[in-house]
Amino acid sequence: MHRLGSQDALPLHRQLYEALRRAVLDGKLAPGERLPSSRDLAQDLQLSRNTVVAAINQLTVEGYLSSHVGSGTYVHDNVPRAGRGSGGARQHLPAGTPAGGLSARGQTLSRQFCARELEVQPFTPGIADFSAFPLALWQRLQNKHWRMTYPDMLDYNASGGYAPLRRAITDYLRVFRSVHLDADQVVITTGTQQSLELCARLLADHGDTVWVEDPAYWGAAKALSACGQRIHPVAVDDEGICPGPADEAQPPRLIYVTPSHQYPTGAVMSLARRNQLLATARAHGAWVLEDDYDSEYRFSGPPLSSLQGLDPDGRVLYMGTFSKVLYPGLKLGYLVVPKALAEAFRQAHYDLNRPGQMPTQAALAEFIEMGHFASALRKARQSYAERRRCLLQALQPVLDMPGGQGPFISGAEQGLHLCLRLPAPVDDRALARQLAQQGLTVRPLSAYCLSRQDLRGLVIGYGYAPLAGIERWGPAIAAAVRQALD
Ligand SMILES: Cc1ncc(COP(=O)(O)O)c(C=O)c1O
């Protein structure tokens, strides 16, 4: 929801009424969906509770919401939607247009796991604590670079990104991730989604097969299928992606992997499996897309290097992001491409995406060069290590349960989340829904599965949850799991 402000001519309760009404009509709030309590909404939006209650009352009177004493406020089941009934802009669709005006691809995409379920809450996996970001310092750097900005910095950029930033990333990746690269192989993107899109568009044709880990990072599967690739799920075990004969029968053009910390199980791809994967890619003439999304945070176990650093043939395209160390809305990531492809990628990026944001890239380059990135990372590591320890401690009683085939934890050595694996009879979606009713957003592992049916668990983030929140609510998660296991 956009920020409500006093500069708007409407009173605040009316602005909130309009914003919620629009969200219902546009389907951003689904029929039957429960709204946060008026107290939570007031706190989140920094409004008075009276303002929130006035807006909710009005929407209830008009039939957009229904309130049940003691159980909360819900979106009414029979609200007309924009474009297909009263209240919203009507669309006149050409004959033969699929329902709702979406293309077949659009319909498939909208059926898949959707961002609305990914709202940031304390235990949402994969989210960093961006409240720790040194905003004042960042503002100073931004101001400085805006003051010094020459007109050419306001133009589109054709060189793959601001050169000092590409150099700073190159130095970091060489030292900390053992990536083999020169700065001209780095393309600055708006993040992993755009890196994936570029790879899909330049390296594969419509209908080509892409192997995607199962379970998977839904964002990658979605970005690749939106580019016309045929997703072939390949099961992951505790050594990473594990293609079998049935997979080999579906030769890939692209292989998408998260080898250092499989998302979401957290499996680390073993050296043997890495070599096997590179050999498989070679045999099929496929490209490997390595998403190294959270390797900055490694808490235990030996240091890991990138898959790209092991690759003798230049088949691996490496992608990283600033979303997990700085903040996601910064929208800056990077793609390292093989030398021979660098010019083609720069040109395509320029033509397809018209990249820019040069003053921001300049501020980020200085942020890294002056050691602020390293210091933010050091602080973040300390803080997440503490949160991780606290969450592991809270979950310990569940792991100690007798009975052999009980729950276990995977993927806690690194990153911002861990995976509490549960035995198959447990309904992890019901468990996650139950926890959501207490305001605890964890994700069911089965929701990440593309085709397999055998995995159950909870994917729990600790990056965004304050330590006190983990101390308080970690035991509540453990208690709910215990109950589900009984
Ligand atoms: C596995 C994985 N890769 C990439 C990303 C996001 O990267 P970006 O914000 O750069 O698109 C995420 C975000 O949660 C993720 O979980």
| 50-99 residue pLDDT tens | 888 878 877 765 667 776 656 778 887 666 555 443 333 333 444 444 55
Q: Point out the domain boundary residue: 374, 405, 430.
A: 374
168 occurs within a structural domain: yes
Number of domains the chain is built from: 3
CA gap 239, 78 in Å, rounded: 48
100 occurs within a structural domain: no
Name the β-bridge partners of 234.
Answer: 213
Q: Whose CA is nearest to atom 7 of ligand 1?
A: 192
Tokens of 168: 């700073």
Together in a domain, 202 and 62: no
Together in a domain, 300 and 266: yes
Average pLDDT over residues 391-398: 94
Q: Are strands 230-237 and 240-241 parallel, antiparallel or unpaired?
A: antiparallel
Together in a domain, 419 and 349: no
CATH number at residue 227: 3.40.640.10
Together in a domain, 350 and 444: no
Average pLDDT over residues 439-444: 90
**Is any ligand 1 atom within 6 A of the Cβ of residue 191?**
yes
Closest listed residue to residue 223, CA positions, set 329, 117, 105:
105
Amino acid 83: pLDDT: 44
Ligand 1 centroid to Cα of residue 353, in Å, is: 19
**Is any ligand 1 atom within 6 A of the Cβ of residue 333?**
yes
CA gap 443, 471 in Å, rounded: 19
- Write out pLDDT tens, residues 332-372: 999 999 999 999 999 999 999 999 999 999 999 999 999 99
CA gap 144, 127 in Å, rounded: 29
Together in a domain, 59 and 169: no
Together in a domain, 153 and 262: yes
Closest listed residue to residue 321, CA positions, set 291, 281, 366, 360:
291
Instruction: Compute and round to an integer the Cα radius of gyration of the chain.
Output: 24
- Using the atom order of ligand 1, give the atom closest to the CA of residue 193: 11
Together in a domain, 348 and 398: no
Ligand 1 centroid to Cα of residue 169, in Å, is: 18
Together in a domain, 343 and 407: no
**Is any ligand 1 atom within 6 A of the Cβ of residue 464?**
no
Q: Point out the domain boundary residue: 331, 350, 374.
A: 374
Higher-confidence residue: 178 or 115? Answer: 178
CA gap 464, 402 in Å, rounded: 31
Q: How many CB atoms lie within 10 A of CB 86?
A: 9
Together in a domain, 236 and 369: yes
Among 218, 263, 297, which residue has the most ligand 1 atoms within 8 Å of its CB, making it the best to mutate?
263
Together in a domain, 344 and 456: no
CATH number at residue 84: 1.10.10.10
Together in a domain, 258 and 159: yes
For 188-201, the DSSP string reads: EESSHHHHHHHHHH
Ligand 1 centroid to Cα of residue 112, in Å, is: 17
Q: Point out the domain boundary residue: 308, 339, 374.
A: 374
CA gap 99, 94 in Å, rounded: 11
DSSP 414: B
Name the residue range of residue 475's domain.
382-485
Together in a domain, 338 and 370: yes
